[in-house]
Amino acid sequence: MKRREMLLTTGAAVLGLPMLSLGQIVESHGRRKPKVLYFTRSAGHEHSPIARKGKELSVSEKLLTEWGRDAGFDVVCSKDGALFDGDLDQYDAFVFYSSGDLTGKCGNPQPGKAMSPEGKKKLLAAIEAGKGFVGIHSAIDTFRSEGIDPYIAMLGGEFLTHGAQQEAPMKVASPEFPGMEGLGKEFTIHDEWYAQYKFPKDLHVILVQETEGMEGKMYRRPSYPATWARMHGKGRVFYTSMGHGRIWLNSPTFRQILLGGIAWASRKAGNDVKPNIEQVTPGANQAAK
């Protein structure tokens, strides 16, 4: 039976949803707290959860910092691409909520500098060598080009388009993945849903975008991955298409899923993942015509 997201806004306790405690995981393994870089530079459209007012942190930056403190990891927030020319070894994982060509000019004024081509190469090399990466929503609408950019190849899919915000069913394809606790076989949640394609065969699909009944011709296609994980060399990569707007403020489910992804990407929870895209979403690359 589908659970309505509006019921979740009153708190996870209403449905008995456990909040992932990354701090407990770290403590049980006797390791230091993970350190995460939350990077929110936008060369294209800047979404409201990452928009700052002056020097004040954005809504999502404040929330992820708070959630990290509660869950047991440290968060460094930045829009400065120059960081990637520096020491990346200090971070366990990189969390991106970005858009556009981050090595180019920004459509909106952004603090700091653009990412250098060398910094981009350093980021991808760090992930391939074992660092974690978490992409949120428009992180998949970043560094897109005529071909498949190395960043897109790392992330595991490419943004095509999206329709109006709406409530949509998410099928849980990987119930053992961190952050899926208590969600059942399927749940319903409201957000802006990206239509994506160019999925590689090595994706481990976590949540499936069930397209039947969705409004918009871009969704007239077989079900496809909405949240997934994959290995990029030795690095763990997690992506969720969730995160457009107020879901940050009113969805314990989104918080749980995101924290689960960060825990997995930073190697504090879960194991390596096996590809399952051909089993759970065999028509994933059949984009709407």
Domain assignment of residue 178, yes or no: no
- Asked if the model's pLDDT at residue 27 lies above 80, the reply is no
Determine, yes or no, domain membership for 9.
no
| For range 120-136, the mean pLDDT | 98
Q: Is residue 134 part of a domain?
A: yes
- pLDDT on residue 289: 62
> What's the CA gap between 157 and 282, in Å, rounded?
15
The answer to whether residue 147 is domain-embedded is: yes
Q: Give the per-residue pLDDT at 46.
A: 87
Contact criterion met (CB below 8 Å) for 123 and 174: no
The more confident residue out of 159 and 11 is 159
pLDDT-wise least confident of 3-17, 29-43, 194-208, 249-263:
3-17
**Residue 132 belongs to some domain of the structure:** yes
The pLDDT of residue 12: 40
For residues 265-273, give the mean pLDDT.
91
Q: Count of domains in the chain?
A: 1
User: Percentage of residues in the chain with pLDDT exceeding 70?
Assistant: 88
pTM of the model: 0.89
Q: Say if 113 falls within a structural domain.
A: yes
Which amino acid is residue 67, in one-letter code? W
In CATH, what number is assigned to the domain containing residue 54?
3.40.50
Average pLDDT, the chain: 88
144 part of a folded domain: yes
- Domain presence at residue 240: yes
The domain of 151 spans 19-160+226-278
pLDDT per position as a tens digit, 200-230? 999 999 999 999 999 999 999 999 999 999 9
